[in-house]
Amino acid sequence: MTQDALFAQLKHPNPHLRDRAMLEIFETRDETTVPHLMRALDDEDVVYRRAAVKALGMIGFDAVDPLVEALTKSENVTVRGSAAKALAQIALNYPEEPFPVEGLAGLRTGLQDDNPVVHIGSAMALGEIGEPALDILIESLQATDNIGLAVSIVNALASVGDRRSGEVLAALIEDESADAYVRETATSALSRIEFVRNNQPK
């Protein structure tokens, strides 16, 4: 199947055919593949856009630089949000590999985005990256007065789930000057961390 035919298949209503096309795009990728997928990030077809995000996630670190460029510089909010989601997919697909510094810096910028789709997506990606992203998450949580962003960061800290995340959440719960909803979210996030920790195989 030609590259054009494979990209057309990413729009197919059948998810199995889309997944097969993604895999083939990944296996036959060349220098045109990432730019082609990047152009799909503002497509009106949501199915196509999501498939492009997943395909970029499969390609991995070769896609980080253009995704960071899109996340931090695009004027199109759909592109910025899709780029954050694709970076989260890369972290999900390559958990054993150290996440590129440029990617972390781009997601730090994404946390400051005014649009909730973008800052929530950036926080989720940092949560997937885990421990290397903790300093960014903690600093951003302490600096922000945006309640929506704070809630997203609290949930990302729950995804990281290590000792430091738990300590930050516990301190936030005790901080009476913090927003009540953020503290409530921190309480349930800390419960999730403790539940996971208590149910891990010994």
Indicate if the pLDDT at residue 3 is higher than 90: no
**Could you give the CA distance from residue 112 to residue 122 in angstroms, rounded to a whole number?**
9
- φ and ψ at 174, to 5 degrees? -80, -15
Burial 150-181 (b: 16+ CB within 10 A, else e): bbbbbbbbbbbbeeebbebbeebbeeeebeee
Reduced DSSP (H G I as helix, E B as strand, rest coil) percent helix, strand, coil of the chain, to 5: 80, 0, 20
* Contact in structure between 157 and 130 (CB atoms under 8 Å): no
Compute the mean pLDDT over every residue in the chain, rounded to the nearest whole number: 94
- pLDDT mean over 145-171: 94
| Residue 202: pLDDT band with limits 50, 70, 90 | low
- pLDDT mean over 50-73: 96
Q: Look at the pTM and tell me if it is higher than 0.85.
A: yes
